[in-house]
């Protein structure tokens, strides 16, 4: 009876995961989606704690340790989530994702230790390992969970350090070859242990997590610049797959379903990010993706740029028919999303059509700008994806760029020597007038000088995004 109730709970929880994931596609419904999925997870956890029984009818015990861990984790998570700034959200996502990978890896290590206890049972080695019923699949799942979870943990920690500026990009000649050698060594070790596991060599298993840490670090170290959103989504998919391995090990249907959903969503998002960056997924996997060349190469564009005053910019937008706003990381740094929304409403009161052009990899993580603007209650219908926005730039009077850089750089279309050549961009230069708000003329995150800044249609409006927007609001009100 209890088993049937637990199965029903798992089905309900799995449905909430799917519903929550569906709602995440719309920023207006994303918060409810998170709450629905969280409620399902809470139900699944409590059901497992109080109703689970193994094949021998044994229930869980050590409730004190279990609930102590839950309470401590809930307190830390709540405090971290409330304290984190929107600009720090990408590195927080990386850290939490890494913790998920670490948990999956620890599950595999604990299960291997449990399995290794059978190695001391007399006569166990007399049974051919590869003929033992179900043992190959069980052991392979342990190895896969350990490998993938550890790589996700190590890679996510490096990504966290790179996003907050504590770790610099690092690469050396032949690094991608070394990455492949390390990965091949791990796979060979797994195959060896899978078919020749005995008391004399089973401790070689612990080389798997050690080598996986090395691979995870080397895998992410050379990745830099605007390429980081792709590696975040890829590592997220790794964590999902590792969690699914844990579901296989424990025959836990809700853990398996959740892991598969995260893994599949992360994989699809990675493919979309690669398409948006015009990169190869194969290069991501071998750790040769957007490395030092992308961060150190400098376009020698140079030339003269022109500035525009706040009052002139306000007049241009207030008397325009259509204004497109292109948000970037500078908007997040300045916490200017609410001021941006206020300017949007003022312009609309004057009869101006205002929309937002969102590049898939703007910011530091997938969907960063969507989340930022949703926080300010910007109407989701006004957020145009890159293809839609590019169709409308030709009929746009003024484009206001707030801290975006690489995603509007024409070098991606015109300069074959540029590291971002071939990357689809927002074609803002098609508009009648372009106003770029930046703190200075320094290159963006990819370290590449932007040709757009020197074009005749472009005017620079220097300053902190929030301060500039507040000044624009004042000027528009006075018109």
In a domain, 92, yes or no: no
392 and 466 inside one domain: yes
Question: Which residue, of 261, 294, 327, is where some domain finishes?
Answer: 294
Q: What is the per-residue pLDDT across 232-261, written as a single tens digit (0 to 9) for each?
A: 888 999 999 999 999 988 888 899 999 999
Q: Which residue is listed with tokens 């990745």?
A: 223
Which residues make Cβ contacts (< 8 Å) with residue 336, sequence separation at least 6?
A: 402, 464, 465, 466, 469
The domain that holds 434 is classified in CATH as: 3.40.50.1220
Q: What's the pLDDT at 3?
A: 65
Structure tokens at 285: 């996997």
Task: Flag whether pLDDT at 293 surpasses 80.
Answer: no
163 and 256 inside one domain: yes
Rounded CA-CA distance 327/314 in Å is 18
More confident residue, 275 or 460: 460
Question: Which residue, of 260, 294, 328, is where some domain finishes?
Answer: 294
In a domain, 216, yes or no: yes
Q: Domain span at residue 60?
A: 1-83
397 and 474 inside one domain: yes
286 and 316 inside one domain: no
In a domain, 402, yes or no: yes
φ and ψ at residue 303, rounded to 5 degrees: 110, -175
74 and 106 inside one domain: no
Q: What's the pLDDT at 446?
A: 56
Which residues make Cβ contacts (< 8 Å) with residue 162, sequence separation at least 6?
A: 168, 169, 220, 223, 224, 228
pLDDT band at 274 (very low <50, low <70, confident <90, very high): confident
In a domain, 432, yes or no: yes
320 and 462 inside one domain: yes
- pTM equals 0.78
Which range is least confidently modeled, 28-32, 443-447, 450-454, 464-468? Answer: 443-447
215 and 240 inside one domain: yes
Percent of the chain having pLDDT more than 90?
45
114 and 31 inside one domain: no
Which range is least confidently modeled, 47-61, 203-217, 341-355, 447-461? Answer: 47-61
In a domain, 226, yes or no: yes
Q: What's the pLDDT at 190?
A: 92
In a domain, 93, yes or no: no
426 and 367 inside one domain: yes
Q: Which residue is listed with tokens 């500026």?
A: 165
Q: Which of 54, 227, 397, 406 is catalytic?
A: 406
Which range is least confidently modeled, 19-33, 147-161, 346-360? Answer: 19-33
What total number of domains does the chain contain? 3
Question: Which residue, of 246, 267, 294, is where some domain finishes?
Answer: 294
114 and 192 inside one domain: yes
Question: Buried (b) or exposed (e) across 268-295, using 16+ Cβ within 10 A?
Answer: ebbeebbebbebeeebbbebbbbbbebb
What is the CB neighbour count within 10 angstroms for residue 305? 14
Kindly state the average pLDDT of the residues 167-185.
85
In a domain, 302, yes or no: no
To the query of whether residue 406 is one of the catalytic residues in this protein, the response is yes
127 and 276 inside one domain: yes
Task: Flag whether pLDDT at 125 surpasses 60.
Answer: no
More confident residue, 42 or 201: 42
In a domain, 287, yes or no: yes
Q: What is the per-residue pLDDT across 54-73, written as a single tens digit (0 to 9) for each?
A: 777 778 888 999 999 999 99
Q: What's the pLDDT at 442?
A: 73
Instruction: Name the average pLDDT for the chain.
Output: 84
- 369 neighbors 361 (Cβ within 8 angstroms): no
71 and 197 inside one domain: no
């Amino acid at each position: 009876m209890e088993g049937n109730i637990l199965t029903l709970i798992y089905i309900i929880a799995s449905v909430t995961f799917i519903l929550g994931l569906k709602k995440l596609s719309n920023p207006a419904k994303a918060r409810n989606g998170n709450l629905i999925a969280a409620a399902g997870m809470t139900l699944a956890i409590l059901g497992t704690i109080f109703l689970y029984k193994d094949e021998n009818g044994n229930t869980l015990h050590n409730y004190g340790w279990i609930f102590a861990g839950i309470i401590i984790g809930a307190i830390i998570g709540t405090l971290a989530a409330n304290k984190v700034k929107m600009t720090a959200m990408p590195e927080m996502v990386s850290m939490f994702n890494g913790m998920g990978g670490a948990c999956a890896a620890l599950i595999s290590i604990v299960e291997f230790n449990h399995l290794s206890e059978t190695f001391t049972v007399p006569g166990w080695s007399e049974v051919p390992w590869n003929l033992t019923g179900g043992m190959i699949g069980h052991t392979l799942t342990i190895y896969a969970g350990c490998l993938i979870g550890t790589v996700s943990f190590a890679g996510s920690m490096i990504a966290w350090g790179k996003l907050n500026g504590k770790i610099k990009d690092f690469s050396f000649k032949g690094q991608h070859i070394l990455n492949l050698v390390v990965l091949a060594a791990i796979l060979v070790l797994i195959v060896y242990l899978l078919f020749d596991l005995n008391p004399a060599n089973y401790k070689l298993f612990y080389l798997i997590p050690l080598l996986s840490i090395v691979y995870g670090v080397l895998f992410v170290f050379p990745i830099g610049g605007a390429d980081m959103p792709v590696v975040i989504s890829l590592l997220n998919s790794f964590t999902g797959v590792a969690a699914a391995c844990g579901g296989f090990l424990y025959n836990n249907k809700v853990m398996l379903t959740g892991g598969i959903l995260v893994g599949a969503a992360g994989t699809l998002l990675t493919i979309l990010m690669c398409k948006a960056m015009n990169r190869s997924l194969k290069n991501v996997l071998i750790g040769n993706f957007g490395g030092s060349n992308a961060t150190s190469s400098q376009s020698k564009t140079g030339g003269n740029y022109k500035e525009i005053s706040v009052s002139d910019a306000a007049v241009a937008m207030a008397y325009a028919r259509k204004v497109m706003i292109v948000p970037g990381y500078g908007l997040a740094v300045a916490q200017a999303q609410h001021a941006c929304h206020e300017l949007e409403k003022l312009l609309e009161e004057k009869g101006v059509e205002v929309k937002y052009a969102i590049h898939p990899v703007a910011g530091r993580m997938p969907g960063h700008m969507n989340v930022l603007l949703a926080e300010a209650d910007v109407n989701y219908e006004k957020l145009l994806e890159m293809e839609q926005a590019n169709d409308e730039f030709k009929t746009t009077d003024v484009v206001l760029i707030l801290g975006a850089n690489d995603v509007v750089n024409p070098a991606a279309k015109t300069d074959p020597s540029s590291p971002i050549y071939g990357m689809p961009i927002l074609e803002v230069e098609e508009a009648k007038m372009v106003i770029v708000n930046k703190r200075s003329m320094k290159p963006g995150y990819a370290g590449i000088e932007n040709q757009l800044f020197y074009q005749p249609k472009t005017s620079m409006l220097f300053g902190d995004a929030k301060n500039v927007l507040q000044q624009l609001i004042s000027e528009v009100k006075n018109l």
